[in-house]
């Protein structure tokens, strides 16, 4: 039985790898070994619990306010020892984090094939997002199998010279995770979220964490929210704040005393998904939330200068608003006061996936290892212009 070593280290990687790990376990055709790098701790553990994910190894590398060099070197060293111990036939990595790149590099050094889930997303701007654009490009160069979530990601890989037979368009596994979680009634929220949702007036969900926004851009985002609260005294901004100390200091400093803003700790996945369903608007710099918003029919304002996820924007559910304070404030106020503008963005559409991405990945792996005759079928989005 071939051995697959699946690595992940942060919250979004775990959410997006969970459906793949669970599908492979269910089929039972591979020995599946999971390794947490522990680049995140509490936020990663929340996902492990939510999906009851089996964990075989934990490198536990996280340090307070860690540097990129610390993550890279600690993961490289820890993962090398694990590769020696487990001798996998293939290493599966996800996305664009430093865990992704460092585990792929460690596998490459030992000449073990790498398969990359969520390959090919590009902004074509090396420092935006930083360091993710570089992490994803470097990982794609090292990978032998590239699972592109969308047609645009496939096209970017083809333009870079990747052989078409090494690419499969799968849809994004985050939609598998989302659809498995979003059904049914809302779970018990924590008391702060409950209190926020019980207030009258529109609700806005906020998340921000990107490294390229540290400093002036992040302060500008915080001021935009403060000014929008002044314009819309009835609105409530619910902000499950990332555990990164840089992020917490910035937002608590500027928004700590603003009555319209309710901070919470990072929420477990299930309550977070139901919170997305409950709000009117999402403002974020998150990659994963840009993908989830359209499926839930929630308008998403993307507070970044670039995005590697253009499909939500083409579909009309997401809008790129940058980090300028005034632009963000105006966009929030317009959406919450102009019914026509709001309706034009609040349409449920699935440009990123149909909930079957992990099945396609498992089919593809079985075909690759000679365990299945038929090749895996590609994801085809409903919108023709996104194919
Ligand atoms: C990381 C990824 C980013 C991803 C994001 C998802 C890199 C370089 N960055 O950014 O691509 O979008 O995760 O959230 O790979 N911390 C905790 N507990 C946690 C998590 C973080 O205390 O569970 C604190 C620690 O002080 C840590 C700091 O946050 O040092 C930064 O974590 P890190 O993983 O380096 O960066 P993120 O900003 O979380
Ligand atoms: N998320 C969560 N709890 C939170 C905030 C986000 O479960 O409090 C989920 C969200 O639904 C999405 C993922 O975490 O699936 C996004 O993670 P993050 O924004 O940290 O990283 P990114 O996607 O930007 O890499």
pLDDT digits (tens, 9 = 90+) for 106-159: 999 999 999 999 999 999 999 999 999 999 999 999 999 999 999 999 999 999
Residue 362: per-residue pLDDT: 98
* Mean pLDDT of all residues belonging to the chain: 97
pLDDT of residue 387: 75
Q: Are 72 and 98 a contacting pair, CB within 8 Å? A: yes
- Bridge partner residues of 300 (DSSP): 282, 318
CA-to-CA dists, residue 340 to 28, 135, 191, 194, 234, angstroms: 50, 40, 33, 29, 20
> Do residues 342 and 361 both lie within one domain?
no
Does 385 fall in a domain? no
Indicate if 153 and 8 belong to the same structural domain: yes
Q: Does one domain contain both 162 and 51?
A: yes
> Same structural domain for residues 22 and 134?
yes
d(CA 29, CA 17): 18
Instruction: Judge whether 377 counts as a catalytic residue.
Output: no
269 CB within 6 A, ligand 2:
yes
- The mean pLDDT value for 342-357 works out to 93
- Together in a domain, 42 and 164: yes
Q: Is position 144 annotated as part of the catalytic site?
A: no
pLDDT greater than 90 at residue 382: no
In the predicted structure, residue 184 carries a pLDDT above the cut 90: no
Q: Model confidence at 386, in pLDDT bands (50, 70, 90)?
A: confident
Judge if 322 and 279 occupy the same domain. yes
Integer Cα distance of 223 and 329 in angstroms: 9
Which ligand minimizes its atom distance to the CA of 295?
2
Is residue 360 predicted with pLDDT exceeding 90?
yes
Instruction: Mark whether 137 and 209 lie in a shared domain.
Output: no
pLDDT of residue 217: 98
Asked if omega into 129 is within 30° of 0 (cis), the reply is yes
Domain count of the chain? 2
- Catalytic (active site) residue 242: yes
Contact 325, 224 (CB under 8 A): yes
Q: Report the pLDDT averaged over residues 241-257.
A: 97
Closest C-alpha to ligand 1, atom 7 = 97
**Which of the residues 13, 23, 132, 363 is marked catalytic?**
132
Residue 188 has pLDDT above 90, yes or no: no
d(CA 301, CA 325): 13
**Bond prior to 131 in cis (omega within 30° of 0):** yes
Using a pLDDT cut of 90, give the percent of the chain over it. Answer: 95
Q: Which of 114, 115, 177, 132 is nearest to 309 (CA)?
A: 132
The pLDDT of residue 98 is above 80: yes
Q: Tell whether 38 is covered by a domain.
A: yes
Answering whether pTM is above 0.85, one says yes
Among 242, 274, 309, 329, the active-site one is 242
Is the shortest distance between the CB of 289 and ligand 2 below 6 Å?
yes
pLDDT of 68 strictly over 80? yes
Based on the fold, state whether residues 55 and 38 are members of the same structural domain: yes
Q: What is the pLDDT of residue 353?
A: 96
pLDDT bin (cut points 50, 70, 90) of residue 346 is: very high
pLDDT at site 253: 97
Q: In angstroms, rounded to a whole number, what is the distance separating the alpha carbons of residues 330 and 334?
A: 6
Kindly state whether residues 142 and 249 are assigned to the same domain.
Answer: no
Mean pLDDT on 220-230:
98
**Structural domain containing residue 284:** 191-346
Give the separation between CA 217 and CA 59, rounded to whole angstroms.
Answer: 33
Shortest-distance Cα residue to atom 20 of ligand 1: 40
CA distance 150 to 351: 8
Q: How confident is the model at residue 165 (pLDDT cuts 50, 70, 90)?
A: very high
CB 33 within 8 A of CB 120: no
Please report which confidence band the pLDDT of residue 89 belongs to, taking 50, 70 and 90 as the band edges: very high
Q: Are residues 129 and 224 in the same domain?
A: no
**Looking at residue 50, which CATH number applies to its domain?**
3.40.50.2000
Per-residue confidence (pLDDT) for residue 349, from 0 to 100: 86
Question: What is the whole-number distance in angstroms between the Cα of residue 286 and the centre of ligand 2?
Answer: 7
Residues 324 and 358 in one domain: no
Instruction: Please answer whether residues 302 and 331 qualify as being in contact, where contact means their C-beta atoms are separated by less than 8 angstroms.
Output: no
């Amino acid at each position: 039985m071939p051995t697959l070593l699946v690595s992940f280290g942060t919250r979004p990687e775990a959410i997006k790898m969970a459906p793949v790990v669970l599908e492979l376990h269910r089929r039972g055709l591979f020995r599946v070994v999971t390794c947490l790098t522990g680049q995140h701790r509490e936020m990663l553990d929340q996902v492990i619990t939510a999906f009851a994910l089996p964990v075989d190894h934990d490198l536990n590398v996280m340090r307070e306010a860690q540097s990129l060099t610390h993550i890279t070197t600690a993961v490289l060293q820890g993962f090398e020892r694990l590769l020696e111990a487990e001798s996998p036939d293939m290493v599966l990595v996800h996305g664009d984090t430093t865990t992704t790149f460092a585990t792929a590099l460690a596998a490459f050094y030992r000449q073990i094939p790498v398969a990359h889930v969520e390959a090919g997303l590009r902004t074509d701007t090396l420092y935006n997002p930083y360091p993710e654009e570089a992490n994803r490009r470097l990982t794609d160069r090292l990978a032998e199998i590239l699972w592109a979530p969308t047609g645009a990601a496939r096209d970017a890989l083809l333009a870079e010279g990747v052989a078409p037979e090494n690419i499969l368009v799968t849809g994004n596994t985050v939609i598998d995770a989302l659809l498995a979680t979003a059904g049914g009634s809302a779970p018990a929220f924590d008391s702060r979220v409950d209190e926020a949702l019980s207030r009258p007036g529109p609700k806005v969900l906020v998340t921000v964490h990107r490294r390229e926004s540290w400093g002036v851009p992040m302060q500008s985002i915080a001021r935009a929210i403060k000014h929008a609260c002044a314009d819309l005294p009835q609105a409530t901004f619910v902000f499950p704040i990332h555990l990164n100390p840089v992020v917490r200091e910035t937002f608590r400093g500027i928004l700590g005393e603003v009555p319209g803003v309710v901070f919470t700790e990072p929420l477990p996945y299930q309550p977070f998904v139901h919170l997305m369903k409950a709000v009117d608007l999402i403002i974020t710099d998150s990659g994963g939330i840009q993908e989830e918003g359209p499926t839930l029919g929630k308008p998403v304002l993307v507070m970044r200068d670039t995005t590697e996820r253009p499909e939500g924007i083409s579909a009309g559910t997401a809008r790129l608003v940058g980090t300028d304070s005034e632009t963000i404030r105006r966009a929030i106020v317009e959406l919450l006061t102009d019914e026509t503008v709001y309706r034009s963005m609040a349409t449920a559409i699935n440009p990123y996936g149909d909930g079957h991405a992990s099945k396609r990945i498992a089919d593809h792996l079985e075909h690759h290892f000679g365990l299945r005759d038929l090749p895996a079928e590609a994801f085809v989005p409903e919108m023709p212009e996104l194919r």
